[in-house]
């Protein structure tokens, strides 16, 4: 069984909107609905676990899920109070124990393609851990806390991490449980698996697989979708 854990339990502070950014519309449809549809179209995905703040369950059912006709069973799980990591762990614990692979994805990355999700899941089936990303395409600078450049980082083999990040289910459960026990807070799930000494493979997710974080990203998202519709 392959489960997709779509995390949408955040507060969207950097977006600064009156509603949580995952519910904001891009060309008339909620960002989160667009993301869910991609995973629903992915033949490898058997079940979707959608992680949202528990207070949002009714809103999510009404505004996001009701207009969708999904072929994939979907369950809700409660979002983390503070950390994305907590939301992911809640989503993982809601997965069927028979889950073989868990693909963890940001609910605010609606432009991932079903094809890229499939490649990521197949990578995890082959290697135990696989994620999407894009090779660094600008020069990278390491600075001190005052913004003074310490050095230019060789960008060969440097990637910008994206999602989904897909893992053997027992492996990602072990990684989250160890991180919780150690008090380790990672900004993505692969970092929790890396600290177990496990190799994680990263493959091309495409530059359009953006995380909608700030108002600028919302404008970019509308332009990307319009360009796609006009193509
Ligand atoms: N406690 C949290 C924090 C984040 N997320 C989810 O993780 C994804 C990536 O997080 P981010 O873009 O940082 O979203 P927010 O935390 O909502 O944004 P901000 O940091 O600006 O508040 C988003 O789909 C977000 O909803 C989550 O499920 N639970
Ligand atoms: C998981 C992630 O999207 C990979 O780039 C990123 O780390 C999420 O960071 P955020 O600060 O929670 O948006």
Give the start-to-end residue ranges of the domains of the chain.
Answer: 2-230
| Cα 111 from Cα 218, distance rounded (Å) | 12
Which alpha helices (DSSP H) does the chain contain, by range?
31-40, 57-59, 84-93, 114-127, 169-182, 190-194, 215-230
Is the CB of residue 80 less than 8 Å from the CB of residue 90? yes
Pocket of ligand 2 (CB under 6 A): 84, 106, 161-163, 187-188, 211, 213
Atom number, ligand 2, closest to the C-alpha of residue 211: 3
Element holding 227 (H helix, E strand): helix 215-230
- Reading the block at residue 76, the tokens are 């809700």
- Residue 162 CA to ligand 2 center (angstroms) comes to 7
Atom number, ligand 1, closest to the C-alpha of residue 107: 24
Q: Answer yes or no: is the C-beta of 12 below 6 A from any ligand 1 atom.
A: yes
Question: What pLDDT sits at residue 231?
Answer: 82
- Residue 186 CA to ligand 2 center (angstroms) comes to 9
pTM metric for this prediction:
0.98
Question: What pLDDT sits at residue 24?
Answer: 97
pLDDT tens track of the chain, all 231 residues? 999 999 999 999 999 999 999 999 999 999 999 999 999 999 999 999 999 999 999 999 999 999 999 999 999 999 978 999 999 999 999 999 999 999 999 999 999 999 999 999 999 999 999 999 999 999 999 999 999 999 999 999 999 999 999 999 999 999 999 999 999 999 999 999 999 999 999 999 999 999 999 999 999 999 999 998 888
- Residue 90 CA to ligand 2 center (angstroms) comes to 17
- Reading the block at residue 177, the tokens are 């449980």
Torsion of CA 179, 184, 188, 194, to 10 degrees: -60
Please give the CATH number for the structural domain made up of 2-230.
3.90.550.10
Question: What pLDDT sits at residue 46?
Answer: 98
- Residue 187 CA to ligand 2 center (angstroms) comes to 6
Atom number, ligand 2, closest to the C-alpha of residue 165: 1
Question: What pLDDT sits at residue 89?
Answer: 98
- Residue 156: CB partners within 8 Å, gap ≥ 6? none
Torsion of CA 63, 101, 80, 55, to 10 degrees: 30
Beta-strand relationship, 47-52 and 140-143: unpaired
Question: What pLDDT sits at residue 209?
Answer: 98
């Amino acid at each position: 069984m392959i489960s997709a854990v779509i995390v949408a339990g955040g507060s969207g502070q950097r977006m600064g909107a009156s509603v949580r950014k995952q519910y904001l519309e891009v060309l008339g449809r909620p960002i989160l609905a667009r993301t869910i549809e991609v995973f629903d179209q992915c033949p490898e995905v058997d079940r979707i676990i959608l992680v949202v703040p528990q207070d949002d369950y009714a809103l999510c059912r009404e505004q996001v899920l009701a207009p969708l006709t999904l072929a994939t069973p979907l369950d809700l799980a409660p979002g983390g109070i503070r950390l994305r990591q907590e939301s992911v762990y809640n989503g993982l614990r809601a997965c069927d124990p028979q889950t073989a692979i868990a693909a963890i994805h940001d609910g605010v990355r609606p432009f991932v393609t079903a094809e890229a999700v499939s490649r990521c899941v197949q990578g995890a089936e082959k290697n135990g851990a696989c994620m999407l990303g894009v090779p660094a395409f600008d020069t990278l600078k390491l600075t001190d806390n005052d913004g003074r450049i310490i050095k230019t980082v060789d960008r060969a083999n440097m990637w910008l991490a994206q999602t989904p990040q897909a893992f053997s289910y027992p492996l990602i459960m072990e990684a989250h449980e160890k991180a919780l026990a150690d008090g380790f807070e990672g900004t993505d799930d692969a970092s929790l698996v890396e600290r177990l000494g496990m190799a994680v493979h990263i493959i091309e997710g495409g530059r359009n697989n953006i995380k909608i974080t700030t108002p600028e990203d919302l404008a970019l998202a509308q332009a990307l979708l319009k360009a796609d519709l006009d193509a």
